[in-house]
Amino acid sequence: MDLTLQVWRQAGPNAPGRLVDYPVKDISPDMSFLEMLDIVNEGLNAQGIEPIAFDHDCREGICGMCGLMINGLAHGPQLGTATCQLHMRKFKDGDTIVIEPWKAAGFPIVRDLAVDRSTFDRIIEAGGFITVPTGSASDANLTLVPKEVADWSMDAAACIGCGACVAACPNSAAQLFTAAKIAHLSLLPQGQPERWTRVEAMVDKMEEFFGSCTNHGECETACPKEISIDFIALMNKDYMKAKFKNRRLVSQTG
C-alpha cells in the first residue's frame, strides 16, 4: 500500500517543530507500524536526511517505551494496543497518517517523536512502592491475599507507564497512571501500612506536573492495557481520607 505520512519533526527540546510530509510506497499490511517507520527511516538515511527519532524498544507491547499520536488517537486506531503492536492492515491504501509525539507540559519533547516521561518516575519515587528493605521479608505464604484482590491488584499493576493516558487527556492529567499504581499497592494487604502516605505523596507529586481529571474517560480507551478509571475513583476516595485521618493512629486499620 502507498501512504502519505505527516510526521512531527523537531530538532531538539527547544527547537520549533512542524509537520513534514513523507510519501511512503509499497508498505505491506503485515508490517507493524514501527517497522513501517523503520523503512521510512532507512529511506531518509539513504537520501541524507536524518531519520525520524522515535522511542521504542521491546516491540511486544510491554515496555511502554513506544507511544505515538496517530491520526489524533493515542497509540492509533486499534484499542487496547500499544503502537508497536499496531499493524498496517488497520490502514487503507492511499491514507494520510498524521504522526505526532505525546504533547503535554509534563512530557517535554526530546526530539521529533521522542518525549521525556521522567515525571512518571518522580511520581513513583514519591510513594509508588512498599518499603521492604532487601532481606526483611517473611515467608510469602504468611500473607494471605484473596484471589479476587490479587486479580484486581494485577489489573491495576498491568500499567506499562507509556503515557498514553496523559497524551489522550484533554487536560494532560496523569490520573490513570497514578491511580493504577496506588491501587495496585493499596489493594494488597502488604500495601496497607503506607496506604495513606502513599496516596497523598503521589497525588501531590502528580499535580506538580499534570492537569486535573474531568472524568472524560479518554485515558481508559487510550490505555493499551485497558486499565479502568474505577481506580481513579478509588484514588480520589483514599486521597480525601488520607487528608482527614490522623495517620499516626489509623495507619494500620484501613
Partner 1 sequence: MAVTESPAKGRRRFWLLDLYGSAVGKKWAMALSGIGLLGFVVAHMIGNLHMYEGAAEMNEYGEYLRIIGGPILPHTVFLWLIRLPLLAAFLIHIHAAYALTITNNHATIDKYKQPREWLAASYASRTMRWSGVIVLLFVAWHLADLTLGWVNPDFISGEPFHNTVVSLSNVGIAALYIVANIALGMHIFHGAWSLFQSIGVNNPRFNRWRRWFAQALATVIVIGNISFPVMILTGVVG
Partner 2 sequence: MVLELDAKIPEGDLDTLWEKHKFDMKLVNPNNKRKFDIIVVGTGLAGASAAASLAELGYKVKAFTYHDSPRRAHSIAAQGGINAAKNYHGDGDSVFRLFYDTVKGGDYRSREENVYRLAEVSLNIIDQATAQGVPFAREYGGKLDNRSFGGAQVSRTFYARGQTGQQLLLGAYQSLARVVGLGQVEMHTRTEMLDVVVKDGRAVGIVTRNLITGEIESHSAHAVVLATGGYSNVYYLSTNAMACNATAIWRAHRRGAAFANPCYTQIHPTCIPSAEEFQSKLTLMSESLRNDGRIWVSKKAGDDRKANEIPESERDYYLERRYPAFGNLVPRDVASRNAEAMINEGKGVGPLKNGVYLDFADSIKRLGIDTIRERYGNLFEMYERITDENPYEVPMRIYPAPHYTMGGLWVDYHLMTNIPGLYAIGEANFSDHGANRLGASALMQGLADGYFVLPYTIGDYLAGMLGDPVVPTDDAAFTEVESEVTGRTNHWLSINGTRSADYFHRELGKIMIAHCGMSRNEAGLKQALIEIPALYEEFKKDVKVLGSAETFNQSLENVQRVDDYFQLAELMCLDALNREESCGGHYREESQTEDGEALRNDDDFAYVAAWEWTGDPGKAELTKEPLDFKNVKLSQRSYK
DSSP 171: T
3-state SS assignment for residue 111: strand
Give strand ranges (E) for 35-140: 69-70, 73-74, 96-100, 109-111, 114-115
DSSP alpha helix (H) spans, 105-212: 118-127, 147-157, 164-168, 175-186, 195-209
- The cell numbers describing 64, all together, are 511502554
32 touches, from partner 1, partner 2, none (C-beta below 5 to 8 Å by class): partner 2
**Cα–Cα distance measured from residue 191 to residue 238, given in angstroms and rounded to the nearest whole number:** 13
62 touches, from partner 1, partner 2, none (C-beta below 5 to 8 Å by class): partner 2
Site for partner 1 in 101-160 (CB under 8 A): 103-106, 126-127, 131, 133
Using the minimum distance from each CB to partner 1, give the nearer residue, 15 or 58.
Answer: 15
**Cα–Cα distance measured from residue 184 to residue 227, given in angstroms and rounded to the nearest whole number:** 11
Q: Is 190 an interacting residue with respect to partner 1 (CB under 8 A)?
A: no
Q: Which of 213, 224, 225, 227 binds partner 1 (CB under 8 A)?
A: 213
| Three-state secondary structure string covering 140-153 | HHHCCCCHHHHHHH
What is the smallest separation between the CB atom of 73 and partner 2, expressed in angstroms? 16
Using the minimum distance from each CB to partner 1, give the nearer residue, 85 or 172.
Answer: 172
What is the smallest separation between the CB atom of 214 and partner 2, expressed in angstroms? 27
42 touches, from partner 1, partner 2, none (C-beta below 5 to 8 Å by class): partner 2
Using the minimum distance from each CB to partner 2, give the nearer residue, 51 or 217.
Answer: 51
**What are the CA-CA distances from residue 238 to residues 68, 166, 197, 214, 250 (Å)?**
32, 21, 10, 18, 13
Tell me, by CB under 8 A, how many residues bind partner 1.
56
Show the binding pattern over residues 50-79: x = contacts partner 2 (CB under 8 A), - = does not: xx-x-xxxxxxxxxxx------------x-
Site for partner 1 in 162-181 (CB under 8 A): 170-173
Q: Is 133 an interacting residue with respect to partner 2 (CB under 8 A)?
A: yes
Q: Which stretch binds partner 1 (CB under 8 A): 23-31, 43-51, 140-148, 202-210?
A: 202-210
173 neighbors 84 (Cβ within 8 angstroms): no
- CB-side neighbour CA atoms (13 Å) of 33: 30
195 touches, from partner 2, partner 1, none (C-beta below 5 to 8 Å by class): none
Site for partner 2 in 154-213 (CB under 8 A): 154, 157-158, 160-161, 184-185, 188, 190-191
